[in-house]
């Protein structure tokens, strides 16, 4: 009985975005219930569509009959011979008018289409959640991630303080087995570990950057180790090393 209840719950939970499935209780058989969930969604859309279509068709027929009787009771005008074809033409298009021009039709069409896609995806071992729920979840999480990233950037800029020129120190000053380290008040684009820094006639291999709190504020430290041979010059980052403190440069 408990397994049946978990299965019923899984039918609804399988419509949730696939990204949230790992956070659901492990006892929910989401993957095995995804196909049945899709079929249930499609069947629900079909049932709603049939009911809504007959109601729409009845209202449309009543309007067509009232319009036709009004035209027949009115004085004869040119084109009355075509009046009898109007209800016939509308009746042919009734299904399409309902599906594409009414909220109930669009909703039922959506349920049938997305439910069918979900059922087929589950059959091929690629289960999916509901498209609208997945889209809303993606938009919400993307917006929240963007706000969180901006808060982190503002917090980091506050710790870094005002932008300042780069500072050069020796590797021994930083306690590293490198030739130099560059202390930057802002992160440098493309300065990733392994990049080649070309400074004049010398080339340096960039180590793993890290953050360091200094009296001047938070700084990004870029370790530089001299390369014995020049390589990958087309992909090298050209950079002029700042003078070492106390040097004559």
Token pair belonging to 133: 């729920």
Pairing status of strand 196-199 against strand 237-238: parallel
Predicted confidence at residue 80, as pLDDT, reads 54
Domains of the chain, by residue range, sit at 2-129, 167-238
Number of neighbours of residue 66 by Cβ within 10 angstroms: 10
Tell me the per-residue pLDDT of 21-79, one tens digit each, with 9 for 90 and over: 999 988 889 888 999 999 999 999 999 999 998 998 888 877 766 666 665 555 655 55
Helix 30-73 vs helix 103-123: crossing angle, to nearest 10: 150
Tell me the per-residue pLDDT of 215-238, one tens digit each, with 9 for 90 and over: 999 999 999 999 876 555 557 899
CA dist 222 and 209 (Å) reads: 5
DSSP 1: -
Query: Which pTM does this prediction carry?
Result: 0.69
């Amino acid at each position: 009985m408990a397994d049946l209840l978990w299965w019923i719950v899984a039918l609804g939970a399988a419509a949730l975005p696939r990204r949230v499935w790992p956070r659901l209780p492990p006892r929910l058989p989401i993957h095995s219930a995804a196909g049945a969930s899709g079929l249930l969604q499609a069947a629900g859309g079909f049932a709603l569509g049939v009911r809504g279509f007959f109601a729409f068709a009845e209202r449309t027929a009543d309007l067509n009959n009232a319009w036709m009787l009004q035209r027949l009771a009115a004085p004869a005008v040119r084109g009355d011979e075509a009046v009898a074809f109007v209800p016939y033409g509308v009746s042919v298009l009734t299904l399409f008018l309902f599906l594409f021009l009414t909220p109930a039709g669009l909703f039922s069409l959506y349920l049938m289409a997305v439910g069918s896609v979900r059922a087929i995806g589950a059959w091929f071992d690629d289960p999916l959640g509901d498209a609208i729920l997945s889209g809303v979840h993606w938009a919400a999480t993307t917006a929240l991630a963007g706000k969180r990233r901006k808060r982190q950037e503002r917090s980091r800029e506050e710790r870094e303080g005002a932008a300042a020129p780069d500072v050069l120190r020796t590797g021994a000053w930083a306690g590293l087995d490198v030739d130099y380290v560059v202390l930057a008040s802002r992160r440098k684009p493309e300065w990733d570990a392994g990049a080649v820094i070309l400074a004049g006639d010398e080339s340096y291999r960039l180590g793993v950057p890290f953050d360091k709190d200094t009296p001047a504020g938070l700084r990004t430290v870029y370790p530089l180790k001299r390369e014995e041979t020049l390589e990958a010059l087309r992909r090298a980052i050209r950079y002029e090393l700042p003078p070492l403190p106390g040097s004559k440069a």
